[in-house]
């Protein structure tokens, strides 16, 4: 178990290094943070002077080497736009993104799993067809469009929720539903498939023939066995939740990492972009390792193997 | 069995905790509060959050919208673009390169610190302080030094004659030396203190900045007690904040949302002339058919600007001949804007040796300027009709901006340039000069004229020189001249506020109706 987690951590560290290196080069090879910082009327000499004072006049290879040395100390440097430590800016935004991601995940699981099981049990019925159709539509619809639609429905047409902003539970509802709707379709479909798979196993037939009630079979035995693919699906979706937060947060004015990342990338403020990317990657890594541990709780067989 | 119960317990605890957290943070609703009070502030929704609020460090649009309410400058920009007294109740130019300002007496910063001539000197010197790395230094590179004459009199000396100096005095927002020196510029950037009509009450990063009225403001307290700035990047979502009654003022609604905003009983659409001139830059330096002046003129004849203004900008934009409008100094009314004449365009292309036209790339951004995607499509369509096949290369703004200033764009680029001072130098020096910031034409005769206008503050002479330059630039066709785009706002039905051409959000001028 310990060795397994150790391996995952090393793999994850390499992945994070690759990701932030790519971000470093892409940002440095397109656009110019100093031009985004200074007024458009600044002369070429003034831009050059400012670039030198930020150390941006050195060759890219040298800057990459410096960047890597700083990374060994988890030093992301200061934001070019605000001059504040990039890590401080990211950490103050982290809670908003985490709250949103987990609330969306919880809603998606609480609605998607029962819906998928219902659909599996009623396999072939019009109800099943409706669930499958709606979940496919949910997956195929762009998140920003769902977000805007929900805003207009529940903040303008029926004004019961705030259209954007942060601070109260009411503000959390629309962004959560937006992301949850996107996740829901995947969760529902995977639950349905997994449930169908388990329902066709001989042990289910045995349980039923022993006279155990259908409900007990479904919730005690089938759900437990179907849990692994469902949890895997949720974990895979987590990266879309974080990636999609860039879109969702800028629609809802949600002060999380996604909004910060979008603004920083726009301004080519690469210390902040890299710090954001690092934490997003770290978050996904930690989440996946946690999930591997969760598997062993859900399914004792996995524990036995290791 | 025991373990299973524990798992279930943990799961339900998590859910319950979450619900509890959600309920606890529920805000109590607002009923019967006076408009503009703490619980029901005037809400401004702009597209981006300021990076900081220290005017010594920043003067970006999102920051300036806030700081203009918190600080005062030596002079103020009036609604019609004149430079009128601000913190200085009067001023005189004692030599061609220096100004004496007489400050108002009895003005204090929000913490009680008195405004003195020393504060003016400190502000300018901080902008030039190499440790501060201010982005404002480039705006003031013509300033040589500041001399304190007495407590309320200060002299600013320039290192050259500079025609636009007074404009920059309207942007020189004065900071308190005592407080800023004590807390340091980083802290001041987050929680500044000024002399302005509002003071910063709180800043929730990423979410909002709350301003509270300064009861001791030297010009009398503002009508509105609380102003809240919020930040929503998505334009459609900003419109929703207005339609739902959550916002009183939104910046930059999509022009296509005009009818939707006007149809709602909570809101109305508002616009002002604006200062940003839109054009298609024609790079005649890199190798392309644009090196031939006849081709550049042909492109100007080929585009129906009136139709674009009418259909895509709802008639709200103002056509610009040679990048200027009639308000600008040295505007030459005898220079006729290129009319829409596709036949003449075809003939010019034939004469230039392109009877079958050619193919060319145009760089553009999307969502940066009003209805830009549609406008660029329309331009490409018009050029296609005279045989010039335009490949539109849509770029993310950061990349576009980098290419623009490193002069590595495609031969054609669709861009806007703000001219807040109504002075041609603000356009021509940067766009149509050989060593300008953008690359269009390289013409020594035009350069000489622009140099002549730059080296004097004699406005009559400058007017004459620019009239001549405008005619020459029109013939040289460094760009497809288009229009000055309006500034657009969405207003709630309860706010009483007139939009300004310079886009400044002075909330001192705003009132809220019950």
Is residue A22 within 8 A of residue A30, CB to CB? The reply is no
Do residues A256 and B206 make contact, with C-beta atoms less than 8 angstroms apart?
yes
Cα separation, A208 vs A121, in Å, equals 14
Q: Is B241 on the interface with A (CB under 8 A)?
A: yes
Q: Which domains does chain B have, with CATH numbers?
A: 72-176 (3.90.76.10), 273-485 (3.10.105.10)
> What is the pLDDT at residue A237?
81
Q: Among A94-103, A121-130, B13-22, B414-423, where is mean pLDDT lowest? A: B13-22
Give phi and psi for B454, each to the nearest 5: -75, -30
DSSP string, B310-370: HHHSTT-SEE-BTTB-TTSTT--TTSPPPP--HHHHHHHHHHTT-TT-EEEEEEEESSSST
Dist. CA B455–CA B441, nearest whole Å: 22
B63 pLDDT higher than 50 = yes
Looking at residue B32, its pLDDT comes to 52
State the pTM of this model.
Answer: 0.87
Instruction: Count Cβ atoms within 10 A of the Cβ of residue B112 and give its class: 0-12 exposed, 13-18 middle, 19 or more buried.
Output: exposed
To probe the interface with B, which of A23, A40, A79, A299 has the most B CB atoms within 10 Å?
Answer: A40
When mean pLDDT is compared across A279-293, B27-41, B342-356, the lowest value belongs to B27-41
pLDDT > 90 in chain A, percent? 26
Distance from CA of A91 to the nearest CA of B (A): 11
Parallel/antiparallel/unpaired status of strands B153-158 and B143-150: antiparallel
The C-alpha of B262 sits at a distance from chain A's nearest C-alpha, in angstroms, of 14
Query: Which whole-number Å values give the CA distances from B411 to B241, B298, B354, B373, B437, in the listed order?
Result: 40, 15, 17, 18, 15
Mean pLDDT of B3-16: 51
DSSP state for residue B212 in the 8-state scheme: E
Whether A55 has its CB under 8 Å from any CB of chain B: the answer is no
CB within 8 Å: B240 and A152: yes
Nearest to B399 among A31, A163, A250 (CB): A31
Q: How confident is the model at residue A296 (pLDDT cuts 50, 70, 90)?
A: confident
Say how many C-beta atoms besides its own lie within 10 A of residue A133's C-beta.
10
Is residue B107 a contact partner of residue B195, using CB atoms and an 8 Å limit? Answer: yes
Helical packing angle, A270-298 and A223-252, nearest 10°: 160
Phi, psi (degrees; rounded to nearest 5) at B173: -80, 130
When scoring B12, B39, B232 by the number of chain A Cβ atoms within 10 A, the one with the most, hence best to mutate, is B232
Which residues in chain A are classed under CATH 1.10.3720.10? 86-298
Closest CA to A81 of B48, B123, B58: B58
Q: Which pLDDT tens digit goes with each residue over A224-275?
A: 888 888 888 888 887 778 878 888 998 999 999 999 998 898 888 989 999 9
- Using the Cβ of B445 and the Cβ atoms of chain A, whether some distance falls under 8 Å is answered with no
Window A:240-299, CB contacts with B under 8 Å: 250-256, 259-260, 262-263, 265-268, 297
Location of structure tokens 């616009």: B271
- Measured between CB atoms, which of B49, B133, B426 is closest to A50? B133
Across chain B, how many H-helices and E-strands are there? 16, 19
Q: Is the pLDDT of residue B2 over 50?
A: no
Its sign, for the CA torsion B246, B252, B254, B256, is positive
Q: How far apart are the first and last CA of chain B?
A: 63
The single residue listed with the structure tokens 């356009």 is B427
Mention every residue, 6+ apart, whose C-beta is less than 8 A from residue B93: B99
Residues 6+ apart with CB under 8 A from B487: B271, B272, B273, B274, B275, B499, B500, B501, B503
Q: pLDDT band at B282, cuts 50/70/90? A: very high
Q: What is the CA radius of gyration of chain A?
A: 24
How many cross-chain Cβ pairs, A to B, lie less than 8 Å apart? 160
> B232 vs A96: CB contact, 8 Å cut-off?
no
Spatial separation of the C-alpha atoms in residues B495 and B473, rounded to whole Å: 44
Rounded to the nearest integer, the mean pLDDT of chain A is: 86
Query: What are the tens digits of pLDDT across the range B364-419?
Result: 998 889 999 999 999 999 999 999 999 999 998 888 988 998 899 999 999 999 88
Handedness of CA B415, B417, B418, B423 (dihedral sign): negative
pLDDT tens profile B89-98: 999 999 999 9
Name the residue of chain A whose CA is nearest to B21's CA: A169
Given a cut of 80, whether residue B12 has pLDDT beyond it is no
A126–chain B nearest CA distance, Å: 33
C-alpha angle with apex A62: A57 to A64, nearest 5 degrees? 105
C-alpha distances out from residue B439 to A42, A305, B376, B395, B411, Å: 15, 68, 20, 18, 9
Alpha-carbon distance values, A126 to A120, A132, A195, A196, A199 (Å): 12, 10, 18, 17, 20
Q: Do the strands B42-46 and B226-231 form a parallel or antiparallel pair, or are they unpaired?
A: parallel
Residue B495 has pLDDT above 70, yes or no: yes
For residues B419-438, average pLDDT: 88
- Which pLDDT score, from 0 to 100, does residue B25 have? 46
Tell me which of A55-64, B146-155, B407-416, B491-500 is least confident: A55-64
d(C-alpha B324, C-alpha B321), whole Å: 6
DSSP state of A221: I
Nearest-angstrom CA–CA distance, B15 and B26: 17
The helix/strand/coil state of B211 is: strand
Task: Check pLDDT > 90 for residue B15.
Answer: no
Q: Which CATH superfamily is domain A86-298 in?
A: MetI-like (1.10.3720.10)
DSSP B443: -
Inter-chain CB proximity B207 and A83 less than 8 Å: no
B135, B231, B397: residue with CB nearest A253: B231
Q: How many CA atoms lie within 13 A of B125 on its CB side?
A: 13
Contact of A202 with chain B, judged by CB distance below 8 Å, is answered with: no
Q: What is the pLDDT of residue B29?
A: 41
Which token pair is B184?
């340091």
Residue that is written with structure tokens 């200033």 in the block: B405
The CA-atom distances, in angstroms, between B238 and each of A97, B228, B232 are: 21, 15, 6
Using an 8 Å CB-CB cutoff, list chain B residues near A47.
405
Give the Cα separation of B155 and B149 in Å (integer).
Answer: 7
Q: Measure A296 CA to nearest chain B CA, in Å.
A: 13
- For chain A positions 169-198, those within 8 Å of chain B (CB to CB) are 169-170, 172
Distance between CA atoms of A188 and A202, rounded to whole angstroms? 24
**Tokens coding A290:** 């946690």
Determine contact, residues B289/B510, Cβ cutoff 8 Å: no
**CB-nearest partner of A167 from B27, B59, B398:** B27
Angle at A274 (CA atoms; ends A268, A275), nearest 5 degrees: 120
- Inter-chain CB proximity B138 and A147 less than 8 Å: no
Establish if B10 touches chain A: CB-CB under 8 angstroms: no
Cα→Cα distances A81→A273, A281, B50, B58, B63, Å: 12, 23, 9, 9, 12
ipTM for the whole complex: 0.85
Helix (H, G, I), strand (E, B) or coil at B68: helix
Backbone dihedral angles phi then psi of residue B424, each to the nearest 5 degrees: -60, -25
- pLDDT the model gives residue B31: 46
Angle of CA points B378, B381, B382, to nearest 5°: 90
Checking if the pLDDT of B343 tops 60, the result is yes
User: Which of B192, B197, B179 is CA-nearest to residue B68?
Assistant: B197
Q: Judging by DSSP bridges, how do beta strands B42-46 and B249-251 pair with one another? A: parallel
Cβ pair B60, B50 in contact under 8 A: yes
* Whether B246 and A169 lie within 8 Å, measured CB to CB: no
B306 C-beta neighbours (distance < 10 Å), count:
14
Give the list of residues 6+ apart from residue B380 with CB closer than 8 angstroms, or none. Answer: B362, B390, B392
């Amino acid at each position: 178990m310990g060795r397994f987690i150790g391996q995952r951590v090393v793999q994850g560290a390499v992945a994070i290094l690759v990701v932030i290196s790519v971000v470093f080069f892409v940002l440095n090879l397109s656009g110019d943070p100093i031009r985004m910082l200074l007024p458009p009327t600044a002369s070429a000499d003034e831009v050059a002077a400012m670039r030198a004072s930020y150390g941006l006049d050195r060759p890219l290879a040298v800057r990459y080497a410096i960047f890597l040395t700083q990374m060994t100390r988890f030093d992301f440097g200061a934001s070019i736009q605000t001059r504040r430590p990039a890590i401080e800016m990211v950490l103050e935004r982290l809670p908003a993104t985490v709250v949103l991601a987990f609330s969306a995940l919880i809603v998606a699981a609480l609605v998607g799993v029962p819906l998928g099981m219902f659909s599996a049990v009623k396999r072939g019925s019009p109800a099943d067809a409706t669930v499958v159709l709606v979940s496919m539509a949910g997956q195929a619809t762009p998140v920003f469009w769902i977000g805007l639609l929900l805003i207009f429905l529940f903040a303008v047409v029926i004004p019961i929720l705030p259209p954007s902003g942060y601070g109260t539970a009411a503000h959390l509802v629309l962004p959560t539903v937006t992301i949850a709707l996107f996740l829901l379709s995947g969760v529902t479909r995977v639950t349905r498939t997994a449930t169908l798979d388990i329902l066709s196993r001989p042990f289910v037939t045995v349980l039923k023939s022993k006279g155990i009630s259908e409900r007990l079979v479904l919730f005690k035995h089938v759900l437990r066995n179907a849990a692994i693919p469902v949890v895997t699906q949720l974990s895979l979706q987590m990266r879309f939740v974080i990636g999609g937060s860039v879109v969702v947060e800028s629609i809802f004015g949600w002060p999380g990492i996604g909004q910060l990342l979008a603004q920083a990338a726009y301004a080519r403020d690469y210390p902040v972009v890299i710090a954001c990317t690092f934490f997003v990657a770290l978050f996904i890594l930690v989440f996946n390792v946690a999930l591997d541990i969760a598997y062993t709780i859900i399914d004792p067989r996995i524990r036995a193997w290791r | 069995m025991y373990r299973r119960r524990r798992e279930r317990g943990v799961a339900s605890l998590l859910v319950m905790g979450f619900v509890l957290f959600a309920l606890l943070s529920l805000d109590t609703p607002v009923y019967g509060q006076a408009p503009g009070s703490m619980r029901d502030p005037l809400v401004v929704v702009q597209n981006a959050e300021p990076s900081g609020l220290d005017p010594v460090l920043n003067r970006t649009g999102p920051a300036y919208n806030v700081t203009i309410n918190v600080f005062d400058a030596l002079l103020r920009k009036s609604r019609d673009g004149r430079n009128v007294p601000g913190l200085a109740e009067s001023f005189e130019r004692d030599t061609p390169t220096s100004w004496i300002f007489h400050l108002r007496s009895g003005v204090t910063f929000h913490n009680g610190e008195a405004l003195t001539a020393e504060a003016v000197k400190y502000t300018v010197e901080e902008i030039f302080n190499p440790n501060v790395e201010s982005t404002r230094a480039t705006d003031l590179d013509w300033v040589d030094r500041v001399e304190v004459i007495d407590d309320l009199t200060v002299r600013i000396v320039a290192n050259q004659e500079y025609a636009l100096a007074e404009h920059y005095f309207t942007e020189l927002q004065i900071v308190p030396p005592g407080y800023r020196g004590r807390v340091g510029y980083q802290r001041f950037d987050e929680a500044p203190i000024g002399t302005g009509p509002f003071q910063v009450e709180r800043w929730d990063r990423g979410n909002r900045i709350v301003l509270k009225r300064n009861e001791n403001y030297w010009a009398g307290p503002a009508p509105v007690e609380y102003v809240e700035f919020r930040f929503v990047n998505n334009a459609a979502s900003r419109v929703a904040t207005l339609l739902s009654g959550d916002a009183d003022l939104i910046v930059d609604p999509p022009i296509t949302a005009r009818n939707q905003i006007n149809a709602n009983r909570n809101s109305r659409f508002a616009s002002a002339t604006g200062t940003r001139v839109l054009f298609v830059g024609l790079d005649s330096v890199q190798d392309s058919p644009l090196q031939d002046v006849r081709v550049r003129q042909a492109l100007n004849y080929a585009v129906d600007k009136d139709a674009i203004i009418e259909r895509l900008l709802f008639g709200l934009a103002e056509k610009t001949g040679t990048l200027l409008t009639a308000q600008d100094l040295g505007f030459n009314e005898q220079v006729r804007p290129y009319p829409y004449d596709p036949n003449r365009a075809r003939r010019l292309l034939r004469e230039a040796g392109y009877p079958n036209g050619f193919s060319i790339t145009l760089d553009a951004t999307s969502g940066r300027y009003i209805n830009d995607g549609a406008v660029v499509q329309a331009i490409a369509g018009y050029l296609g009709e005279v045989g010039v096949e335009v490949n539109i290369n849509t770029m993310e703004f950061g990349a576009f901006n980098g290419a623009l200033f490193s002069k590595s764009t495609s031969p054609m680029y669709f861009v806007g340039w703000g001219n807040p001072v109504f002075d041609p130098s603000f356009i021509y020096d940067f766009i149509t000069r050989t060593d300008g910031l953008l690359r269009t034409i390289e013409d020594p005769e035009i350069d000489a004229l622009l140099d002549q206008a730059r080296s004097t503050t004699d406005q009559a002479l400058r007017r004459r020189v620019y009239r001549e330059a405008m005619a020459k630039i029109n013939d040289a066709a460094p760009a497809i001249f288009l229009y000055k785009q309006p500034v657009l706002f969405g207003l709630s039905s309860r706010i009483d506020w007139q939009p300004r051409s310079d886009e400044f959000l002075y909330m001192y001028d705003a009132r809220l109706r019950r």
